[in-house]
Chain A
Amino acid sequence: MKLLLDSSSSLLFSLLLAQLPVFTSASPVPQRRPSDMDRLSNQTKNLMKLTQELLREHAFDSDVEPHRFRSLPEMSNRSANDLNNLELKPTLSQLHADLKLYEHHFEWLNRVSKKHHHPAVPKLVEMIREIKSLINLLHRQMLRVEAPRLAPATPSLPPHLPYQFDVLQSSHELLQHFKLFCDWAYRAFISLKPKVPAVQ
């Protein structure tokens, strides 16, 4: 009797537990799984939001462009018309190379910000983590569509920033550039979405 009682209670409990995920996952409207391109665009938007937060929180209200960074991805040759005619593989490869370049720049900024005990450091760390995550997602997509990986460009970074003000200026410049890059990249990802072959 004791055994029966024990086993029945455990059975009932297990049954109910087993039902939980069934109930939680059941929904009258079947949810569409986000595609890899959706993930890429969402992650880019997330990065754009983070960048805007950093710019807002560590505001540096200046229109002066210091031009410290000579090796940031070139945006002057990207027009709105280009977005209408993007090719999948070259664009993914280019975006990957651009993101790697930004990753290097932000890692450098993180290092100098740490030296100057800049309060933006925790968010910069988060930013670098999110950039790495986007790079990994993008790399996976590149493998899937067999897009080639471009040779990494060598970043030319300012050698020495003696003052806190220099760090602020550099941070402002880098974030402004990256925000616009994310804007373009997001549009590129949503434009490329219909061009990605369906997964077999």
Chain B
Amino acid sequence: MPGLLSSPLCLTVVWFLSWSLRPSCAQIWTDEVSDVQYGRLESNVTLACGQSKIGVPVVWYLNHSLALPWHKLMLDGALVLLHVDHSAQGNYSCYDNEGLLLHSVKLRLGRSPGLLSISCQVPNHTYVRCSWVESVKTFLPAKYNASFRGNGHEWRPCVLDVIRKQCDIDHPAFWQTMHTLRITETNSLGSETTFAQFKLHELLKPDPPESVLVKEIEGYPKRLTVSWNFPSSWPLHDAFPLVFQIRYRPRGSIYWSEIYSEENSVIIFDALAGHLHQVQVRARDEVNSESQWSEWSPLLLAQPWKVYPTPDPAVTDDGDYFFPFNTKPETSTAKSHNPVPDAEGNLGLVILLVVFSMVILATVLSLIFVMWLRKRRRNHVTKQELTSMVKMKSMPI
């Protein structure tokens, strides 16, 4: 057997086999590149050729191709890629002059993180969601670390959703003057920490009211009833009242009429009979006037109850008679919430005022009458005195 192995023919076969298999071995190696090297875009990147000796010529391949981006080769075999762009990314491998793989590496190019542009949404007092946008496109995978705190207090983690680039804080200490969010972005080329300060009470912005309904009221051709629910994200508790703004206009008009309410329904008394109306509702925290209005609810279309061609004599427009509002919706007017019981209250107030003014008038008239009587009496007395004086003068002494 040793004789067989040492025979010249066999040696030739072994040499041939090893020579012919060498490139395929290299192919396997390049596909299994485990090293990743990161480089900065628009800069020079140096790729070392493993343990190559100075002066020994090496050959570099990019993705098995000899076509390399703009580069220079160093004496130690290192490849310097000049002012790299994205096209320079790929799998690099260097071989000695005998075709032996010396080193392979995957090159990824990008930038180190820059500052983040952070914004926070505060849909209620128990929840804050902050999201960010990178000011620098890094092209590299990054890790984030986010924490949040009220002024002068301990950092609390902000729960990350890296894919959406946002983080959530449950139950923040809301009633503090200032909050700070700190996000650190780290990638292979470096890290950057961004601090952002917020006033939660000014960012507070409820979601729009939900299930908004606009309905006609049978028998009332100028009325519409609007109802809605609190936003589902808003806590239903006495401590968190909302104020609602309702706006409406006949379709085609550019002027909105407005009503404010703290309830979750209102009646519009001055709709334009026979016209389709656009109605929207939005909400704001009632206590904190520095908070923001929600977005408007989706536009709804509704028409007041219509008088049909064969009118029922029992149904008249009397219901609207007592509400001397401007029935032209082409005026932008802000009104307070004015449901039916309040309207009755107004009528009562008018009656009261009329009665009171009558009483005042009667009082004034009575006073004038009394004064007139007293004056007349005084005149009478003066006359009597004069008469008696004349009488006394005419008397013989």
Interface residues of chain A, those whose CB is within 8 Å of chain B, are 2, 5, 9, 12-13, 16, 19-20, 23-24, 26-29, 45, 48, 52, 63, 65, 67, 75-81, 83-84, 173, 176-177, 180-181, 183-184, 186-188, 190-191, 193-194
Q: Which residue of A lies closest to B200 (CB)?
A: A180
Residue from B287, B345, B370 within 8 A of A183 (CB atoms):
B287
Residue from B174, B352, B363 within 8 A of A79 (CB atoms):
B174
Q: Which residue of B lies closest to A185 (CB)?
A: B175
Chain A residues with CB below 8 A from B124, complex form: 80
Residue from B176, B289, B345, B347 within 8 A of A180 (CB atoms):
B176
Q: In the complex, are the beta carbons of A83 and B237 less than 8 A apart?
A: yes
The minimal Cβ–Cβ distance linking A2 to chain B, given in whole angstroms, is 7
Number of A-B contacts (CB under 8 A): 110
Residue from B175, B178, B345 within 8 A of A29 (CB atoms):
B345
Per the bound structure, the CA–CA distance linking A23 and B348 in Å amounts to 13
Per the bound structure, the CA–CA distance linking A191 and B125 in Å amounts to 15
Chain A residues with CB below 8 A from B300, complex form: none
Chain A residues with CB below 8 A from B197, complex form: 63
Chain A residues with CB below 8 A from B352, complex form: 23, 26-28
21 contacts between A and B (CB under 8 A): A9-B374, A19-B359, A23-B356, A23-B359, A29-B341, A48-B287, A65-B151, A67-B151, A76-B150, A79-B126, A79-B171, A80-B174, A80-B235, A81-B171, A173-B177, A176-B177, A180-B176, A180-B201, A183-B175, A183-B287, A191-B239
Residue from A2, A83, A188 within 8 A of B377 (CB atoms):
A2
Q: In the complex, are the beta carbons of B345 and A52 less than 8 A apart?
A: no
Chain B residues with CB below 8 A from A24, complex form: 356
Q: What 0/1 pattern do residues 214 to 248 of B give for CB contact below 8 A with A?
A: 00000000000000000000010111110000000
| Interface size band for B | 35 or more
B331 interface hit (Cβ, 8 Å): no
B349 interface hit (Cβ, 8 Å): yes
Q: Which residue of A lies closest to B366 (CB)?
A: A12
Per the bound structure, the CA–CA distance linking A2 and B366 in Å amounts to 17
Q: Which residue of B lies closest to A191 (CB)?
A: B239
Q: Which residue of A lies closest to B173 (CB)?
A: A76
8 closest A-B pairs (Cβ-Cβ)? A28-B348, A80-B125, A9-B370, A187-B239, A83-B239, A76-B173, A191-B239, A75-B175
Chain A residues with CB below 8 A from B287, complex form: 45, 48, 183, 186-187
Q: A80-B125, A188-B239 are in contact. Are A63 and B370 (CB under 8 A)?
A: no
Per the bound structure, the CA–CA distance linking A177 and B177 in Å amounts to 6
Q: In the complex, are the beta carbons of A78 and B171 less than 8 A apart?
A: no
Per the bound structure, the CA–CA distance linking A67 and B177 in Å amounts to 11
Chain B residues with CB below 8 A from A16, complex form: 359, 362-363, 366
Per the bound structure, the CA–CA distance linking A84 and B237 in Å amounts to 7
Q: In the complex, are the beta carbons of A5 and B374 less than 8 A apart?
A: yes
Q: What 0/1 pattern do residues 331 to 356 of B give for CB contact below 8 A with A?
A: 00000000001001101110110011
Known: A80-B235, A187-B240, A191-B237; 12 extra A-B contacts, CB below 8 A, are A12-B370, A16-B362, A28-B345, A28-B351, A29-B348, A63-B178, A75-B175, A76-B150, A76-B173, A183-B175, A183-B287, A186-B287
Chain A residues with CB below 8 A from B348, complex form: 27-29
Q: A5-B374, A67-B152, A75-B176 are in contact. Are A193 and B126 (CB under 8 A)?
A: no
Q: What 0/1 pattern do residues 270 to 294 of B give for CB contact below 8 A with A?
A: 0000000000000000011110000
Chain B residues with CB below 8 A from A75, complex form: 173, 175-176
Chain A residues with CB below 8 A from B345, complex form: 28-29
The minimal Cβ–Cβ distance linking B172 to chain A, given in whole angstroms, is 8
The minimal Cβ–Cβ distance linking A68 to chain B, given in whole angstroms, is 12
B14 interface hit (Cβ, 8 Å): no
B153 interface hit (Cβ, 8 Å): yes
The minimal Cβ–Cβ distance linking B356 to chain A, given in whole angstroms, is 5
The minimal Cβ–Cβ distance linking A179 to chain B, given in whole angstroms, is 8
Chain A residues with CB below 8 A from B178, complex form: 63, 65
The minimal Cβ–Cβ distance linking B351 to chain A, given in whole angstroms, is 7
Q: A19-B359, A187-B239 are in contact. Are A79 and B173 (CB under 8 A)?
A: yes
B299 interface hit (Cβ, 8 Å): no
